[in-house]
């Protein structure tokens, strides 16, 4: 369904003709997708997947994701002068020929959102990006770019870019070019380079690309070496995703200074050291921690009361489980497989969380006491011997049955490293990562989410129509009169102090808005409740 209710004018005739030209080059293999509604009997702004400006009637957005479309998308699409949002992901196009330079198309400044991800495309290079100087969101994930050897230089021509996704693109060249230190990507907030094949060390200049980054995913790319100290430049980082690589050495103590980190995944690397407790103790915002399959040692860390998931399996942690872990109400998943832990475990989690720690005890594991510690004199009567024998046989049968089923599955993961890695990759890709991606990446085009990312505070959202911009804007009003605004057409962030962008009525409305004392108190109390157990 098109979201063009309450339009004041009909679809622009020129835009309608352009859409019909585009339709001719596309084959809808299902014959009942959105393209099938593109009929001249209806106003083109009512066509499915087509969004128009409510005042001008010009086409501003095309939403054609996952429509089983085949054929070619050609340069005609750029004749939609006010097109800002183009989503053609999850289709089967043979060719997408949208080179503005080749076809002398000059009006590309409005296109801010382009998603061509996960189709069947192959691209030799990314040179065609250069005319699109207003891109804020670019997703080419899943497109075969193995011939592109200078991809970083190509995306460096897009200075306003907020989000760049190049996962699963068969990229293999991490060009170490000193000139890139002066990169234009200073606005980048989200960067996904996962599932490529870089096989290089992470250069220091890479972490100087932008200081605005909140999400960095370089998982399963075969990068090697130590984690560079320049990572500490990313003070706003909330999500760091580095599993499935060949990183080695110790984790820098200073990573604990990245106070905004909520999601930290270092699974399946070659990292070592005993300083994890001191690092994690400083990460008061941490909610997800996975450092399994490394060589970490020392004691278990005291963790934030915000933590939901913690996976420390297949390391060499020793000592007891911190007593305060049992008081963490939000903690939902714990995996401590194959460490060297001792003492009493957490009874709130089942035995499968503690496999490979023979010195851990307490229900549902073995009792902490031994016969040597607690000698007892026991007497048995002939009447009880038969009952004891039956009971022992019953328990033995139950134990053997449980062990056979449990170890048949978990034992394979425990003993076979390749199977274990495949299992973790599945869980990582389908479970936690999907959830995080949906919450953060997929909502980057949502003005409320962007406002939260920029202002780091709870927000009240209010919509206005900006006569100067000729579009609806969302204004985010934050605590302490911090505010921001996003234009619905280009999602451009503006500081409220830039009064030239706001008319008097809007500014007056904003300055009169204050959060109630009750809401302020609730938010302040929530922040005060965050603590490190211990």
Query: 3-state secondary structure string, 179-201?
Result: HHHHCCCCCCCEEECCCCCCCCE
Mean pLDDT of 43-48: 95
pLDDT > 50? residue 375: no
Share above pLDDT 90 across residues of the chain, in percent, rounded to a whole number: 39
Mean pLDDT of 168-197: 78
Which letter, b or e, does each residue of 367-396 get, where b requires 16 or more Cβ atoms within 10 Å of its Cβ? ebeeeeeeeeeeeeeeeeeeeeeeeeeeee
> So what's the pLDDT on residue 128?
84
Q: Which residue has the higher pLDDT, 31 or 304?
A: 304
Please return the burial class of 468, using the count of CB atoms within 10 Å of its CB with bins 0-12, 13-18 and 19+: exposed
Stated pTM of the model: 0.71
Least confidently predicted of 17-31, 209-223, 410-424: 410-424
Q: Measured between alpha carbons, how far is 357 from 318 in angstroms, rounded to an integer?
A: 9
Q: Which residue has the higher pLDDT, 377 or 241?
A: 241
């Amino acid at each position: 369904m098109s979201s063009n209710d309450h339009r004041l004018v009909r679809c622009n005739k020129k835009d309608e003709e352009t859409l019909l030209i585009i339709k001719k080059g596309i084959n809808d293999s299902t014959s009942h997708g959105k393209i099938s509604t593109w009929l001249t009997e209806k106003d083109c702004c009512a066509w499915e997947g087509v969004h128009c400006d409510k005042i001008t009637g010009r086409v501003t957005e095309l939403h054609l994701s996952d429509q089983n479309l085949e054929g070619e998308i050609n340069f005609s699409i750029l004749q939609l002068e006010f097109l800002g949002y183009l989503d053609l992901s999850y289709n089967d196009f043979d060719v997408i020929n949208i080179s503005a330079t080749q076809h002398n198309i000059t009006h590309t400044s409005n296109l801010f959102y382009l998603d061509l991800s996960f189709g069947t495309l192959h691209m030799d290079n990314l040179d065609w990006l250069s005319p699109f100087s207003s891109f804020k969101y670019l997703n080419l994930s899943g497109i075969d770019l193995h011939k592109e050897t200078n991809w970083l230089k190509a995306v460096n021509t897009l200075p306003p870019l907020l989000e760049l996704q190049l996962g699963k693109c068969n990229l293999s060249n991490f060009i170490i070019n000193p000139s890139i230190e002066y990169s234009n990507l200073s606005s980048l907030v989200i960067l996904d380079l996962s599932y490529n094949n870089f096989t290089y060390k992470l250069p220091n200049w890479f972490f100087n690309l932008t200081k605005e980054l909140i999400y960095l995913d370089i998982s399963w790319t075969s990068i090697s070496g130590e984690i560079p100290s320049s990572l500490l430049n990313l003070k706003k980082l909330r999500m760091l995703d580095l599993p499935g690589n060949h990183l080695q050495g110790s984790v820098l103590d200073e990573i604990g200074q990245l106070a905004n980190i909520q999601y930290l995944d270092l699974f399946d690397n070659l990292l070592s050291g005993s300083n994890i407790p001191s690092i994690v103790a400083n990460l008061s915002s941490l909610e997800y921690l996975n450092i399994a399959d490394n060589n970490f040692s020392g004691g278990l860390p005291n963790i934030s009361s915000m933590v939901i998931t913690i996976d420390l399996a297949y390391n060499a942690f020793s000592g007891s489980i911190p007593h305060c872990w049992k008081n963490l109400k939000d903690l939902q998943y714990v995996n401590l497989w194959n460490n060297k832990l001792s003492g009493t475990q957490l009874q709130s989690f089942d035995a499968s969380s503690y496999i490979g720690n023979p010195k851990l005890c307490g229900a549902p594991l073995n009792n902490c006491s031994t016969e040597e510690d607690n000698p007892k004199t026991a007497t048995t009567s002939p009447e009880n011997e038969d009952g004891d024998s039956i009971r022992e046989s019953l328990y033995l049968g139950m134990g053997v049955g449980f062990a056979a089923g449990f170890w048949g599955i978990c034992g394979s993961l425990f003993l076979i490293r390749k199977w274990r890695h495949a299992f973790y990759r599945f869980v990582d890709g389908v479970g936690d990562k999907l959830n995080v991606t949906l919450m953060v990446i997929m909502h980057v085009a949502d003005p409320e989410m962007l406002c939260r990312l920029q202002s780091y505070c709870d927000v009240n959202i209010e919509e206005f129509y900006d006569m100067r911009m000729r579009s609806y804007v969302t204004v985010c009003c934050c605590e302490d009169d911090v505010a921001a605004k996003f234009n619905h057409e280009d999602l451009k962030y503006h500081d409220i102090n830039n009064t030239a962008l706001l008319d008097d009525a809007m500014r007056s409305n904003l300055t009169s808005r204050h959060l109630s004392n009750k809401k302020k108190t609730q938010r302040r109390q929530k922040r005060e409740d965050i603590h490190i157990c211990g």
